[in-house]
Structure 1
Amino acid sequence: MSNTVMLGRIRRMVTVSLDGVEVKVPEGSTILEALRGQGVQTPTLCWAPNLEPVNACRVCMVEVEGSRVLVPSCARAVQDGMQVRTDTEKVRHSRKMVLELLASSVDLSQTGQDVQRWMREYGVDADRYGPPAAAAEEGERDTRQPGHHHAPDGSTAETVAQPVKVDNDLYVRDYARCIMCYKCVKACGTDAQYTFAIAAAGRGFDTRIATEYNTELPDSACVYCGNCIGVCPTGALKSVVEHELRETGEWDGENETVTTTICSFCGVGCNLDLHVQHNTIVNVTSPSDHSVTHGHLCVKGRFGFQHVQNLP
């Protein structure tokens, strides 16, 4: 019998300067990982701890000495002697502009508390590039040509000003809130599910998230795992339960409690985070750092909770 003990890859430590503070981090780490290790809460929208970075939102940009332009902290690897600055005027201006562009084109009203805090912290003026998308009433979405928004060049986009897509009993697609962060595409593809039911379609202003051949979701390859919901940062994808509660004004996220348990549907041992409002389960997620799920679940784990509370 072999006595060989398998160890993880040994990485040397490198020294980087983060806002003037020298720290040692493992070689190969990203700047964002180094910052989070020091408690620096860098804004992110397209990044998730259980997905490969896609560099789409550009909110996490930082200044690196010697670099001509700002760099995405979520993807740029640290180098020995690197000097990083996260709170310069150039960085703050860049983050503010990105958030203003997003807020003026899509509805960010259902993003998490972090995004709302960043918008306040950077003094975001959602009116700067036109009326904020969040100010549009629901009736206005429906009176425009369904699924299209006229861009300055006369082309149309399908990511704003369109009705909510409700074509199944588990989750809805509200693409008026979509910022094209590609996290749902990654989760549906090689980063988690390998179903490839959705992808980015179109070009330019017409770029959008779509199923294959733009079919209805029940006719697509979707297996309803809901992993796209788990990574969506803006509420463009959400459970039917959450959507209905928000529509009726009964959503109470501020008083929501989260309890961790183990899924009982099989013996894999997935951890479940039960999100409860008014003694009722409204959503189920999984911790991104859980060694079994890495934040991803199957259809039973994410949506099979009705029997617990005997809902009709």
Structure 2
Amino acid sequence: MNRSRPLTTAFLALTLATGGSTLAACGNGSETGRNGDDGGTVTSEETMSREDTTRPKEPPPREDTPPREEHTQREENPSPNEPAPQGEREKTAEEAESEPPDPPVTETRSAVVVERIVDGDTIEVSGDGRILPRDTSVTVRLLAIDAPETRDCYSSEATARIQQLLPLGSEVRVERDKDLKDRYDRYLLYVWNEQGEFVNESLVRTGHAKAVLFEPNDKRWPTISQAGETAELNESGLWSACDTEKDTPPPADTPPPTEPPPPTEIPEPDAPEPDSEGTYPPGPPPGPDLDCSDLPGPVAVGSDDPHRLDRDGDGIGCE
């Protein structure tokens, strides 16, 4: 038999008795224990208990309210130091006062729809409820212009031109002046078409209408009158095609003159009578020719009769 095996076994037993902690650390994971600081054996359960006491304890989960409800309550009642959510900050009184007010809705302009062309300066439109009645067909007379009337010179050209500028069904912009209507209940307006062209000025500039001021509506008169001067200088449209002097509108009606009173009859002076000596007043001196009808009666002409009043040669004329 081999005697070296009992010696080896004894050596291993001695080693286990003196250095158990080392073998325990390097073993197969068996929890046999290790030497503590006081020289005693410390088990793995005691080691785990000590590690638990050194770690900070986590607070138990709250069971009174769910996390979602807590988040909702925090949003409804934000902390004074907590910033407000993006886009939900309420305006302060100072900020509200510093903001400019909304611009007022103007009552001088509106958009209407063209329904009919009457002539070169008159159309029918449907309003939008601002300047003109809503969904009601009304007659509009273009301000500060005067186009030829029907059957007058250049009337058909003027009507064709306004039809090009304001097609039926197009939406146009209108603007009022001081007086909104004339005595014929027509609306007096300035008109811009869908392309932004000032129709009143355009008709005058091309010679399809004249610039005529209808007071007190003079807001756009400087622009329209300048266009009229240019058209007349260039002899555009009706300025060369028509006799503009005949087309000039007649003056305003004036009351007929009153009949003069009948003339008062002036009594003819009595014919001069000869004085006590039987003589007549002297005749007129030489000058413009006179007749007996110009004298009140007989006159003494003597031998000198410049006016040939003495027909019988007795020295008394007009007897």
Superposition TM-score, scaled by structure 2 size: 0.23
* Higher RCO (CA < 8 A, seq sep 6+): 1
Superposition TM-score, scaled by structure 1 size: 0.24
Rg comparison, structure with higher value: 2
